[in-house]
Amino acid sequence: MIKIISFTICPFVQRVTALLAAKKVPYEIDFISLKDKPQWFLDLSPTGQVPMLVTASGEALFESDAIVEYIDEISAPLEADLSPEQRAKDRAWSYQASKHYLVQCPAMRSADAETLKERSEKLAKAFEKAEKVLGQGPYFKGQHLSNVDIAWLPLLHRAAIIEENTGYDFIEGFTKVKAWQKAILASGLPQLSVAEDFDEKFKGFYLSEETYLGNMMLAKASSEQGQDQTQKSGCCG
Ligand SMILES: N[C@@H](CCC(=O)N[C@@H](CS)C(=O)NCC(=O)O)C(=O)O
């Protein structure tokens, strides 16, 4: 069976596991610490980065783009009979997402409002491009889930967690992207592609007291608690 070497909150890993989940390809998963990488991993990996896919015959594959292509070659495609031109376009649109993974991560770690704004603007350029080409949906290319949806899933999933916990929306103003995000969340793939402790680890890193968004989360929680108290004590209480 295929094995994925993962780090719980890595978006590059999630793109791979989301594709495996969408295609219902069974796989095992091993989580490693990136701060203290095990020697067996360093021996296998030329880059020292996750994701790594170890094939059934023990070959170690690296780089998420190459891994996605490998998975496509060994399993049924999400969409049948795509022309070479369409496949090239799909890869290009997937790249528009994956090149922004490392834009979203530092944006979520911003220490102050100004940095968050600056980094969000950079990330918004990706959503703006998608907004211009999205049609009726529900998915990027219409009725059927494609590799493009899978590539954007980590960005859209993370934006949803941030919005739910802090009220801050990386996708604000992009109506079609919002509808697309909703469809991706409703597919169940975001949850199927992460470990059970994903939310906890994600919040621990991106929504800690060190980050601006973490402080927004605390403020939101305390204002909701305040409202709750007001409601409990009644308007005249
Ligand atoms: N280009 C790589 C990027 C993967 C990547 O940046 N992975 C991060 C975790 S999200 C990592 O392994 N970082 C550890 C390191 O660079 O030493 C890919 O697409 O697979």
32 pLDDT higher than 60: yes
Q: Is the pTM of this model over 0.75?
A: yes
Q: Is the CB of 34 under 6 A from ligand 1?
A: yes
The whole-number pLDDT of residue 229 equals 65
The whole-number pLDDT of residue 230 equals 57
Choose which residue among 36, 49, 98, 206 to substitute to test ligand 1 binding: the one with the highest number of ligand atoms within 8 A of its C-beta.
49
Give tens-digit pLDDT for 146-175: 999 999 999 999 999 999 999 999 999 999
CA of 175 to the centre of ligand 1 (A): 31
Peptide bond into 106 cis (omega under 30): no
Q: Is the CB of 7 under 6 A from ligand 1?
A: yes
* Structural domains of the chain, with CATH: 2-74 (3.40.30.10), 82-237 (1.20.1050.10)
Mean pLDDT, range 48-64, rounded to an integer: 97
Give tens-digit pLDDT for 74-126: 999 999 999 999 999 999 999 999 999 999 999 999 999 999 999 999 999 99
Interatomic CA distance for residues 15 and 18, integer angstroms: 5
231 pLDDT higher than 90: no
pLDDT band for 9, please (50, 70, 90 cuts): very high
43 pLDDT higher than 60: yes
Residue of the CA atom closest to atom 13 of ligand 1: 49
CA of 222 to the centre of ligand 1 (A): 36
Q: Given strand 60-62, what is the order of strands in its sheet?
A: 27-31, 2-6, 52-54, 60-62
Q: Is the CB of 48 under 6 A from ligand 1?
A: yes
Chain mean pLDDT for the chain: 95
Residue of the CA atom closest to atom 12 of ligand 1: 49
CA of 11 to the centre of ligand 1 (A): 9
- Give 3-state DSSP helix, strand, coil % of the chain, rounded to 5: 60, 10, 35
Q: Is the CB of 127 under 6 A from ligand 1?
A: no
Q: Residue 32 contacts by C-beta under 8 Å, 6 or more apart in sequence?
A: 5, 6, 7, 38, 41, 50
